[in-house]
Amino acid sequence: MHESILPYSLAPFVVALLFVLSGLMAIGSNMVLAQDLSTKSIVELTTASGRTFRGTLSPKSNFDTVRITSTRGSIELTRPIAWKAIRELTINEQPASFEQLKTLIHRVHEAGSPTGISSGLLTIGPSTAFSNENEVAVIQNEDSQKSAPIASLSAWATYKNWDQNPTVDGLEVTFSAEDAEGMPTVAQGYLEAELYAFQSESYSGVPQGQGSRFERVGAWRIPLNQTTARYDSRVARLPYQGNSPATDGGISPHGILVLKLIVPGQGTFAASLDDVRLRPYSALRDANQLTGNPRFTRGENPRYRPYKNP
């Protein structure tokens, strides 16, 4: 009788012992991982835009902005990256979590603090407050606030509506000044843009163009300090001028956008974007219009005129 009861009485103790052992193993593994995090650990961050930044953590990193320092020859570059822009991260070539990044930031702060105490570190993860830090900023020798020279201009554009009505208001251009290695760098100056498209004319007026003329339909000049930071790029809005491609079907639905980044002391950097869509495509609206109905409802856009292919 006693022999049959004994195994059942020991079962809870065996389960508890296994639970304690598994907890100790987990703590041990975490301690080993924490010991591997040194202030010189190599951090690699991938942002939402697909760019990857690799280097060591700067002591100026915090939980709004992570600053990655890399070295190119004798030049030391530090790039600030917003927490909310980070999508993937590794530490010393191993996948890591935000908690491990937090621990590493603490250690970097402690190493750079005379008292060994890290102050002002309260929370981890993206801040709910808007951060003015811009991922596009590249700081060379942070104290001197210099940047790598600009080598090229990278950009793309799409039509955009930014007010209360449903009509497209203009083009939104996302652009980035890049250095010789294709990394974003800071720039000061102006962005100039010109939009070219086909515009319908009478056949007798432009017989060689079969009733259409390819001409400029918009031009803009925007100071860079009036553009908006978005991850590692800048965003400029180009509102349609005069005859809007969104409301005038006499303008072709696609165009060519010519961009020029004018940077005093460095020069002019140009980029051309072909086949930029100027207004939404809708097979349903096309079919509705072919049956004799208005393309837009009364509350949308009664001024629209259909475009005729040259």
DSSP string, 50-93: S-EEEEEEPTT--SSEEEEEEEETTEEEEEEEEGGGEEEEEETT
Which of 122, 144, 166 terminates a domain? The answer is: 144
Domain count, the chain: 2
Whether 13 is covered by a domain: the verdict is no
Q: What is the domain-level CATH number for residue 181?
A: 2.60.40
Do 130 and 175 lie in a common domain? no
- CA distances 1 to 5, 10, 124, Å, are 7, 15, 58
| Helix (H) / strand (E) containing 212 | strand 212-223
Which of 144, 179, 195 terminates a domain? The answer is: 144
Whether 76 is covered by a domain: the verdict is yes
Whether 47 is covered by a domain: the verdict is yes
Which residue do the tokens 């303008």 mark? 251
Whether 240 is covered by a domain: the verdict is yes
Do 184 and 274 lie in a common domain? yes
Low-confidence ranges of the chain (pLDDT < 70): 1-16, 18-36, 72-74, 112-147, 201-211, 299-310
Do 114 and 81 lie in a common domain? yes
Alpha helices (H) in 74-139, listed in sequence order: 98-112
Whether 307 is covered by a domain: the verdict is no
Q: How far is it, in rounded angstroms, from Cα 297 to Cα 65?
A: 46
Do 208 and 253 lie in a common domain? yes
Whether 276 is covered by a domain: the verdict is yes
Do 279 and 188 lie in a common domain? yes
Quick: pLDDT tens for 197-207: 988 765 555 55
Do 285 and 156 lie in a common domain? yes
Do 137 and 162 lie in a common domain? no
Do 265 and 187 lie in a common domain? yes
How far does the chain reach from its first CA to its final CA, in angstroms?
101
pTM to 2 decimal places: 0.51
Which of 113, 144, 175 terminates a domain? The answer is: 144
Do 217 and 129 lie in a common domain? no
Do 272 and 208 lie in a common domain? yes
Range of the domain at 182: 152-290
Whether 301 is covered by a domain: the verdict is no
Do 85 and 177 lie in a common domain? no
Helix, strand, coil percent values for the chain (each to nearest 5): 25, 35, 40
CA 171 vs. chain centroid, Å, equals 17
Please classify residue 126 by burial: count the beta carbons closer than 10 Å to its beta carbon, then call 0-12 exposed, 13-18 middle and 19+ buried: middle
Do 157 and 138 lie in a common domain? no
Whether 27 is covered by a domain: the verdict is no
